[in-house]
């Protein structure tokens, strides 16, 4: 742990300015000591091995031939792409399902952000009665076991004719994502110093403008974190689409993967499933790569715009 | 939820308030507008099903007509029998599951918090290739549970990789402590990154001046972590732990996929509810769900009261709670530093 | 703002109405009580089925039908390959009385449950042309003397054994009894090439496979789960004899300890790796164990026999697997559905499924087809297993029955409960469930 406590000393600190205030010059801090650095890298190595060892096994298994799938050799030799070829066989409809997953997960993410940002702002900045009660009510919706919600939800959606529609997949994921999104963003907004916003309002901004120009950019890490969490949960949702759809043209990837079968009803098509796990995780990795700067440095980037 | 809607409607629709309250009144209206979309979605998709579940829990499974061999068409109203049955006829199984549920919540969330905070601190470092480090840390969480369950099932099978590293053959997926351990390991691996991501975002709101001040005071790394980082990241951490706990207390897929249904050492209440629903006893399943809901609510309530009153927004109206007073010192430091430093700083 | 609040409340009210509307159970779309219903309407329908052993066999058969039936097109709805997920899809479809699935492929154990709930139609038995089917498979689609499905495929367990090792130990025939099996195992273990091999395994993890293995051993020992009148009979000397056999084999190490985690695949892995001398397994293992691509260590070194019994004159009794085509009570165009079910489950299609994917047919003649025998040498043994098979109980609450069997059997096999106590508990639970 001590290796990781050196954040401020090893960080290159960068100052950035806000519209509402003065501009201090950027400063640079020197790194102290090679030794601490070594500790950090050891820590990083341990964490990465911990996280990736099972993933390596997944990758290795996805590259084995079906006939060596039980093998315990560390390297998948001879390597084969047969599992990947199998999942991309046109009859599986895997590509289409990835597109569906993308449509569903991005809709959920955009909607969740819009709803949670407005709600979060209200909860963090506005004075009204019953606020703690509201916060508790929001989080309480995350306390019900999903297995018990499914059947009533199915009854509602089939009554309004929403079976096999995107909205029947988007709305549940949205409502599962909202409590965390609202709580997280509320916490974030609340941590933003009130003075900044008030200074902007003194400068002639309306409340809405002050929020957009001052608070939102400052809260980028929180917003992108929320976006990533929402996207990943929606992308990985299984129970809802299993229940709400039966036509392949709206089904997301998780469902299509569950249809992969082996030679018989008994065998798990392990190679295909691991190959699918690789493919289905790839867009999420790309997204994290794309947005990771915002998670961490959003504050500065937003302010410099 | 209805109480909230009601309360809000009242605060919006009562114009005769003293002037002091006037701004509250206006803000109340704005707040209602801003909160309405979220409330609407959650009412339709979650609250209605919960109400239906409550109704369902009062009905029993339709019986079988011995003469025709057909199941009756109406579900008998049984009042609270589904609830009383849980504690009497299947009591042993229920208490066992409640114990497992609680045990798993503690045994997964505690290591996840420790590992997750460590990961967040690492992700926050200015390292070479940090983008890759961050991605590497987040991958376990990004893999769909159904598939990571299969992966871990493979790893923990009798002739799997886990046993290849061990001197003796451990039967991870049979019933017993090894099964619990397997669930805990797989769950920690999968969800520590989720916690790390939320904590990392929280770390971003800490201005570097705060650390400077602490350093000037002569605080070492550990003191800075305990005295500065932890209190300031606390709101984000509380939210992260709270939501992890809610998930852990509803744990279902991992033990189900990895170990299997009806194994007493890993059966959770959610699994019991699922088991009942699968056997078409929806009333009994609903009763389990509601009991679990109440249990989680109780735990979450206590947790928030202990650690998260400020997160809840209570401080906007009432005086500081005990927890807030405890945090006040750190907050004062933060606000002082933040306003002194404004514009805020970021760590790169 | 008040208006907005009100409209939210109104929405809530409307939705609540919808909810209660659903909850109040409407009269069933078509009664099953008055004998077989009329199958009248024609038009497009759907077939809901999990994948038939890989490949596109189902789609090919559907395409063939569609070519000749322009106005009665069939759409294939592929269900999840995981049996839990598949069950959930079928249950929820029935719960909402959805017409999304017209013809469905159902596991034999689900027939009674679906029939009792009136989720599927009783079929006109004489019109189905089931005379060419193996009688035991017709039994699996029967609930209370009425037929509810067209038997599409079946399955039964066989004893896989290592011919090379038995030969080396001077044994020429597969064991007919468990005593012979143990003796053969002792002889093989004495050989240098037999060192470290495990005698026997089946499926003993806590899931449906355990119910199969336990029912089989109880039936084989002369006992039964239920008597003719459907009353549980597991607290009997015969049942004790059967379960004790498995428990003592676990204790003696004849069944390896790790077999308590075995499902079909884990056992197949062990057998293919050459770790098992005898293995109770379904027919699907034959092809993969014969594979010569290096994945099987036992290719050419094994054979199949009927399950062992307790005396030389009475062999083991397998349970039955397989899928059956049923017609949803909530589907439209049931006349088309009935014709299509007959077509899809016909001898011609079963031959295609057998030839292409090794799906065990329900049509008796296919077991004697020389072309098929050449491809699947195990067919005569499989047929014998099917002919002597005892199906699992056809009861409406099969889920609870199988859970009760698994709970007690697992406790006995893992040694946490004695055989007598376990069977007593099982009997008690079953009596509660089947009164």
Domain check: are C223 and C177 in the same one?
Answer: yes
How far apart, in whole angstroms, are the C-alpha atoms of residue C302 and residue B95? 48
Last residue of a domain, one of B56, B87, B103: B56
Which pLDDT does position A297 carry in this prediction?
Answer: 55
Percent of chain C at pLDDT exceeding 90:
73
Pick the CATH number of A93-259 from 1.10.3720.10, 2.40.50.140, 3.30.70.560, 1.10.300.10: 1.10.3720.10
- Examine the pLDDT at B336 and tell me if it is beyond 90: no
Range of the domain at C128: 37-155+321-387
- Examine the pLDDT at B25 and tell me if it is beyond 80: no
Which pLDDT does position C4 carry in this prediction?
Answer: 45
Domain check: are C170 and C310 in the same one?
Answer: yes
Which pLDDT does position C22 carry in this prediction?
Answer: 39
Q: Domain of B261: which CATH number?
A: 1.10.3720.10
Question: pLDDT, tens digit, for every residue of C42-66?
Answer: 999 999 998 776 567 888 999 999 9
Helix (H) or strand (E) holding C305: strand C302-305
CA end-to-end span of chain B:
42
- Examine the pLDDT at B5 and tell me if it is beyond 50: no
Question: pLDDT, tens digit, for every residue of C358-380?
Answer: 889 999 999 999 999 999 999 99
Q: Based on C-alpha coordinates, what's the Rg of chain A?
A: 24
Identify which of B229, B155, B236, B235 has the alpha carbon closest to the alpha carbon of residue B189: B155
Domain check: are B26 and B139 in the same one?
Answer: no
Residue C364 makes CB contacts below 8 A (sequence gap 6+) with C132, C133, C134, C383
CA nearest C209 in A: which residue? A266
CA nearest C24 in A: which residue? A155
Q: Which residue has the higher pLDDT, B249 or B207?
A: B249
Helix (H) or strand (E) holding C159: strand C158-162
Residues in A closer than 8 angstroms to C298, CB to CB, are: none
Q: Which residue has the higher pLDDT, B29 or C221?
A: C221
Contact between C407 and B262 using a beta-carbon 8 Å cutoff:
yes
Contact between B143 and A24 using a beta-carbon 8 Å cutoff:
no
* C270 falls within a domain: yes
Residue A159 forms contact with B (CB below 8 Å): no
Domain check: are C302 and C202 in the same one?
Answer: yes
- What would the mean pLDDT of C269-288 be, rounded to a whole number? 94
Closest CB from A21, A133, A293 relative to B342: A21
- What would the mean pLDDT of B291-309 be, rounded to a whole number? 89
Name which of A6-20, A143-157, B188-202 the model is least confident about. A6-20
Strands of the C198-201 sheet, one edge to the other: C198-201, C276-281, C158-162, C302-305
Identify which of A16, A20, A17 has the alpha carbon closest to the alpha carbon of residue A204: A20
Domain check: are B113 and B199 in the same one?
Answer: yes
Range of the domain at B19: 1-56
Residues B82/B60, Cβ–Cβ less than 8 Å: yes
Name which of A290-299, C26-35, C278-287 the model is least confident about. C26-35
SS (H, E, C) chain A: CHHHHHHHHHCCEEECCCCCCCCCCCCCCCCCCHHHHHHHHHHHHHHHHHHHHHHHHHHHHHCCCHHHCCCCCCCCCCCCCHHHHHHCCHHHCHHHHHHHHHHHHHHHHHHHHHHHHHHHHHHHHCCCCCHHHHHHHHHHCCCCCHHHHHHHHHHHHHHCCCCCCHHHHHHHHHHHHHHHHHHHHHHHHHHCCHHHHHHHHHCCCCHHHHHHHHHHHHCHHHHHHHHHHHHHHHHCCCHHHHHHCCCCCCCCHHHHHHHCCCCCCCCCCHHHHHHHHHHHHHHHHHHHHHHHHHHHHHHHHHHHC
- What would the mean pLDDT of B305-331 be, rounded to a whole number? 56
How far apart, in whole angstroms, are the C-alpha atoms of residue C171 and residue B119? 62
Which pLDDT does position A40 carry in this prediction?
Answer: 79
Which pLDDT does position B343 carry in this prediction?
Answer: 42
Q: Domain of C301: which CATH number?
A: 3.40.190.10
Question: pLDDT, tens digit, for every residue of C220-233?
Answer: 999 999 998 889 99
ipTM, two decimals, is 0.84
Residues in B closer than 8 angstroms to A126, CB to CB, are: 27-28, 30-31, 34
Residues C322/C153, Cβ–Cβ less than 8 Å: yes
Q: Which residue has the higher pLDDT, B20 or C295?
A: C295
Which pLDDT does position B329 carry in this prediction?
Answer: 54
Q: How many domains does chain B have?
A: 2
Mutate to test the interface with C, among A162, A264, A269 (most CBs of C within 10 A): A264
Question: pLDDT, tens digit, for every residue of C138-193?
Answer: 999 999 889 999 999 999 999 999 999 999 999 999 999 999 999 999 999 999 99
Strand locations in C364-429 (E): none
Mutate to test the interface with A, among C82, C87, C155, C280 (most CBs of A within 10 A): C82
Mutate to test the interface with B, among C201, C261, C268, C413 (most CBs of B within 10 A): C261
CA nearest C400 in B: which residue? B279
Which pLDDT does position C37 carry in this prediction?
Answer: 66
Identify which of C17, A270, C338, A9 has the alpha carbon closest to the alpha carbon of residue B154: A270
Name which of B28-42, B167-181, B188-202 the model is least confident about. B28-42
Q: Which residue has the higher pLDDT, A165 or B335?
A: A165
CA nearest B158 in C: which residue? C258
How far apart, in whole angstroms, are the C-alpha atoms of residue B230 and residue C227? 67
Helix (H) or strand (E) holding C321: strand C320-321
CA nearest A270 in C: which residue? C265
Which pLDDT does position C312 carry in this prediction?
Answer: 87
Cα B269–A254–A288 angle (5° rounding)? Answer: 100
Mutate to test the interface with C, among B175, B179, B271 (most CBs of C within 10 A): B175
Contact between C16 and B261 using a beta-carbon 8 Å cutoff:
no
CA nearest A245 in C: which residue? C89
Percent of chain A at pLDDT exceeding 90:
30
DSSP C177: B
Name which of A90-94, C256-260, C286-290, C365-369 the model is least confident about. A90-94
CB atoms within 10 A of CB B332: 10
Which pLDDT does position A34 carry in this prediction?
Answer: 65
Which pLDDT does position B318 carry in this prediction?
Answer: 39
C17 φ, ψ (degrees, to nearest 5): -60, -45
How far apart, in whole angstroms, are the C-alpha atoms of residue B7 and residue A133? 10
Residue A233 forms contact with C (CB below 8 Å): no
Which pLDDT does position A289 carry in this prediction?
Answer: 84
Which pLDDT does position C54 carry in this prediction?
Answer: 54
Identify which of C41, C58, C56 has the alpha carbon closest to the alpha carbon of residue C325: C58
What's the pTM? 0.85
* C375 falls within a domain: yes
Q: How far is CA C371 from CA C344, C354, C356, in A?
A: 22, 11, 12
Name which of A286-290, B178-182, B250-254 the model is least confident about. A286-290
Domain check: are B248 and B177 in the same one?
Answer: yes
Cα A171 vs. chain centroid, distance in angstroms? Answer: 17
* B297 falls within a domain: yes
Domain check: are C228 and C266 in the same one?
Answer: yes
- Examine the pLDDT at A1 and tell me if it is beyond 50: no
* Neighbouring C-alpha atoms within 13 Å toward the C-beta of C271: 36
Domain check: are C70 and C117 in the same one?
Answer: yes
Residues in B closer than 8 angstroms to C273, CB to CB, are: 159
Helix (H) or strand (E) holding C106: strand C103-107
Domain check: are C93 and C187 in the same one?
Answer: no
- Sequence ranges of the domains in chain A: 93-259
- Nearest CA-CA distance, residue C87 and chain B, Å: 9
Which pLDDT does position C5 carry in this prediction?
Answer: 45
- What would the mean pLDDT of B185-196 be, rounded to a whole number? 94
- Nearest CA-CA distance, residue B262 and chain C, Å: 8
Closest CB from A8, A218, A285 relative to B142: A285
Domain check: are C110 and C142 in the same one?
Answer: yes
Residues facing C45 on adjacent strands: C74
- What would the mean pLDDT of C23-32 be, rounded to a whole number? 39
Residues in B closer than 8 angstroms to C270, CB to CB, are: 159
- What would the mean pLDDT of A162-186 be, rounded to a whole number? 92
Mutate to test the interface with B, among A22, A28, A119, A126 (most CBs of B within 10 A): A126
- Nearest CA-CA distance, residue B348 and chain C, Å: 44
* B347 falls within a domain: no
CA nearest A295 in B: which residue? B201
Domain check: are C113 and C177 in the same one?
Answer: no
Name which of A30-44, A205-219, C82-96 the model is least confident about. A30-44
Q: Which pairing describes strands C146-147 and C142-143: parallel, antiparallel, or unpaired?
A: antiparallel
- What would the mean pLDDT of A177-188 be, rounded to a whole number? 92
* C92 falls within a domain: yes
- What would the mean pLDDT of A168-176 be, rounded to a whole number? 92
Domain check: are C81 and C184 in the same one?
Answer: no
Identify which of A122, A115, A137 has the alpha carbon closest to the alpha carbon of residue A189: A122
* B8 falls within a domain: yes
CA nearest B93 in C: which residue? C407
Residues A179/A138, Cβ–Cβ less than 8 Å: yes
- What would the mean pLDDT of B103-113 be, rounded to a whole number? 96
Domain check: are C223 and C298 in the same one?
Answer: yes
Which pLDDT does position A39 carry in this prediction?
Answer: 79
Residues C243/C214, Cβ–Cβ less than 8 Å: yes
Contact between B52 and C143 using a beta-carbon 8 Å cutoff:
no
C239 φ, ψ (degrees, to nearest 5): -60, -40
Which pLDDT does position B185 carry in this prediction?
Answer: 95
Which pLDDT does position A90 carry in this prediction?
Answer: 83
- Nearest CA-CA distance, residue A163 and chain B, Å: 14
Residues B283/B58, Cβ–Cβ less than 8 Å: yes
Per the prediction, chain A carries an average pLDDT of 80
Residues in C closer than 8 angstroms to B60, CB to CB, are: none
- What would the mean pLDDT of B187-191 be, rounded to a whole number? 95
Q: Which residue has the higher pLDDT, B24 or A280?
A: A280
- Examine the pLDDT at B171 and tell me if it is beyond 80: yes
- Out of A77-86, B65-74, C108-117, the most confident range is C108-117
* B126 falls within a domain: yes
Residues in B closer than 8 angstroms to C257, CB to CB, are: 169, 171
Q: How many domains does chain C have?
A: 2
Residue A150 forms contact with C (CB below 8 Å): yes
Domain check: are C227 and C295 in the same one?
Answer: yes
Domain check: are C326 and C315 in the same one?
Answer: no
Per the prediction, chain C carries an average pLDDT of 88
Which pLDDT does position A12 carry in this prediction?
Answer: 34
Q: Residue ranges of the alpha helices (H) in chain B?
A: 2-13, 22-42, 48-56, 81-87, 91-123, 130-142, 145-155, 161-164, 177-203, 208-216, 221-224, 230-249, 253-258, 269-278, 282-307, 309-312, 322-341
State the pLDDT confidence band at C12, using cuts at 50, 70 and 90. very low
């Amino acid at each position: 742990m001590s290796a990781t406590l050196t954040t401020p000393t090893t960080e290159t600190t960068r100052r950035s300015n806000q519209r509402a205030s003065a501009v201090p010059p950027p400063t640079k801090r020197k790194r102290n000591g090679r030794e601490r650095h070594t500790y950090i890298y050891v820590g990083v190595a341990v964490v990465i091995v911990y996280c990736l060892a099972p993933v390596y096994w997944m990758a290795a298994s996805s590259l084995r031939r079906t006939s060596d799938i039980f093998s315990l050799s560390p390297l998948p030799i001879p390597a084969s792409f047969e599992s990947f070829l199998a999942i991309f066989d046109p009859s599986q409809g895997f590509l289409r399902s990835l597109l569906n997953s993308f449509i569903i997960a991005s809709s959920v993410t955009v909607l969740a952000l819009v709803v949670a940002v407005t709600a979060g702002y209200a909860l963090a900045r506005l004075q009204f009665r019953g606020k703690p009660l509201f916060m508790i009510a929001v989080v309480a919706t995350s306390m019900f076991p999903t297995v018990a919600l499914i059947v009533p939800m199915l009854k509602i959606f089939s009554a309004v004719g929403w079976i096999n529609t995107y909205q029947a997949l988007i709305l549940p994921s949205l409502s599962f994502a909202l409590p965390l999104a609202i709580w997280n963003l509320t916490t974030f907004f609340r941590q933003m110093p009130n003075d900044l916003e008030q200074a902007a309002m003194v400068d002639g901004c309306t409340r809405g403008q002050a929020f957009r120009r001052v608070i939102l950019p400052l809260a980028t890490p929180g917003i992108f974190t929320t976006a990533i969490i929402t996207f990943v949960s929606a992308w990985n949702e299984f129970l809802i689409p299993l229940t709400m759809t039966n036509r392949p043209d709206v089904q997301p990837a998780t469902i299509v993967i569950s249809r992969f079968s082996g030679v018989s009803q008994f065998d798990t098509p392990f190679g295909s499933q691991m190959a699918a796990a690789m493919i289905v995780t790839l867009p999420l990795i790309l997204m994290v790569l794309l947005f990771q700067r915002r998670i961490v440095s959003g504050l500065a980037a937003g302010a410099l715009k | 939820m209805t109480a909230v809607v009601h309360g809000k409607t009242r605060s919006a629709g009562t114009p005769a308030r003293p002037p002091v309250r006037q701004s509250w009144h206006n803000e109340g209206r704005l707040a209602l507008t801003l909160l309405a979309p979220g409330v609407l979605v959650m009412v339709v998709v979650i609250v209605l099903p919960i109400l239906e579940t409550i109704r369902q829990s009062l009905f029993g499974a339709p019986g079988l007509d011995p003469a025709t061999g057909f199941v009756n068409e109406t579900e008998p109203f049984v009042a609270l029998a589904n609830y009383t049955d849980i504690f009497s006829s299947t009591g042993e199984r229920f208490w066992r599951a409640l114990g497992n549920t609680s045990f798993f919540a503690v045994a997964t969330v505690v290591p996840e918090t420790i590992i997750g905070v460590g990961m967040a601190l690492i992700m926050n470092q200015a390292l070479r290739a940090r983008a890759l480090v961050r991605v590497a840390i987040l991958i376990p969480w990004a893999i769909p549970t159904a598939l990571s369950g299969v992966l871990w099932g493979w790893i923990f099978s009798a002739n799997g990789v886990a046993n290849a590293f061990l001197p003796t053959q451990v039967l991870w997926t049979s019933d017993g402590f090894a099964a619990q351990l397997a669930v805990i390991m797989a769950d920690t691996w999968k969800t520590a990154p989720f916690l790390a991501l939320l904590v990392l975002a929280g770390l971003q709101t800490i201005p570097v001046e705060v650390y400077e001040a602490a350093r000037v005071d002569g605080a070492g790394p550990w003191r800075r972590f305990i005295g500065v980082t932890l209190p300031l990241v606390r709101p984000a951490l509380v939210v992260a732990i709270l939501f992890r706990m809610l998930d852990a207390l509803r744990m279902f897929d991992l033990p189900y996929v990895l170990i299997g249904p009806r194994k007493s050492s890993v059966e959770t209440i959610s699994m019991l509810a699922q088991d009942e629903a699968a056997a078409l006893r929806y009333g009994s399943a609903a009763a389990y769900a509601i009991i679990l809901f109440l249990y989680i609510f109780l735990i979450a309530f206590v947790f928030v009261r202990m650690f998260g009153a400020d997160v809840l927004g209570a401080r906007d109206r009432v005086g500081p709670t005990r927890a807030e007073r405890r945090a006040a010192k750190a907050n004062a430091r933060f606000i002082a530093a933040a306003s002194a430093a404004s514009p805020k700083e970021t760590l790169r | 703002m008040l208006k907005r609040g009100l409209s939210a409340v109104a929405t809530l009210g409307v939705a609540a109405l919808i909810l209660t509307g659903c909850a109040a159970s409407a009269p069933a779309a078509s009664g099953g009580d008055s004998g077989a219903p009329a199958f009248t309407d024609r038009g497009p329908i759907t077939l809901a089925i999990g994948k038939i052993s890989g490949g596109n066999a189902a789609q090919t058969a559907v395409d063939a039908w569609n070519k000749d039936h322009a106005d009665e097109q069939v759409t294939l709805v592929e269900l999840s390959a995981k049996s839990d997920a598949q069950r959930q899809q079928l249950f929820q479809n029935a719960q909402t009385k959805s017409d999304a699935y017209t013809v469905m492929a159902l596991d034999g154990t689900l027939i009674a449950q679906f029939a009792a709930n009136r989720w599927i139609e009783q079929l006109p038995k004489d019109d189905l042309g089931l005379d060419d089917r193996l009688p035991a498979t017709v039994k699996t689609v029967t609930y209370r003397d009425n037929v509810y499905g067209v038997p599409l495929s079946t399955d039964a367990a066989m004893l896989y054994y290592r011919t090379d090792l038995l030969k080396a130990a001077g044994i020429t025939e597969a064991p007919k009894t468990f005593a012979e099996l143990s003796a053969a195992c002792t002889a093989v273990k004495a050989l240098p090439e037999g060192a470290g091999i495990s005698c026997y395994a089946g499926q003993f993890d806590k899931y449906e496979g355990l119910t199969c293995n336990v029912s089989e051993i109880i039936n084989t020992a002369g006992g039964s789960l239920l008597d003719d009148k459907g009353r549980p009979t597991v607290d009997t000397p015969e049942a004790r004899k059967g379960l004790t056999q498995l428990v003592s084999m676990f204790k003696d190490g004849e069944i390896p300890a790790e077999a308590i985690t075995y499902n079909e695949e884990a056992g197949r892995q062990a057998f293919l790796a050459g770790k098992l001398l005898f293995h109770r397994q379904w027919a699907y293992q034959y092809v993969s164990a014969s594979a010569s691509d290096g994945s099987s260590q036992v290719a050419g070194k094994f054979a199949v026999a009927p399950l062992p019994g307790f005396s030389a004159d009475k062999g083991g009794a397998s349970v039955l697997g397989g899928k059956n085509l049923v017609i949803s009570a909530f589907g439209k165009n049931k006349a088309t559905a009935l014709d299509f079910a007959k077509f899809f489950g016909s001898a011609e299609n079963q031959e295609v499924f057998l030839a292409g994917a090794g799906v065990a047919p329900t049509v008796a003649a296919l077991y004697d087809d020389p072309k098929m025998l050449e491809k699947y040498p195990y067919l005569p043994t499989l047929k014998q297993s099917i002919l002597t098979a005892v199906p699992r109980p056809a009861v409406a609450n099969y889920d609870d029955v199988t859970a009760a069997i698994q709970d007690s059997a697992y406790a006995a096999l893992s040694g946490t409960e004695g055989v007598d106590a376990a069977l007593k508990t099982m009997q008690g639970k079953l009596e509660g469930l089947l009164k």
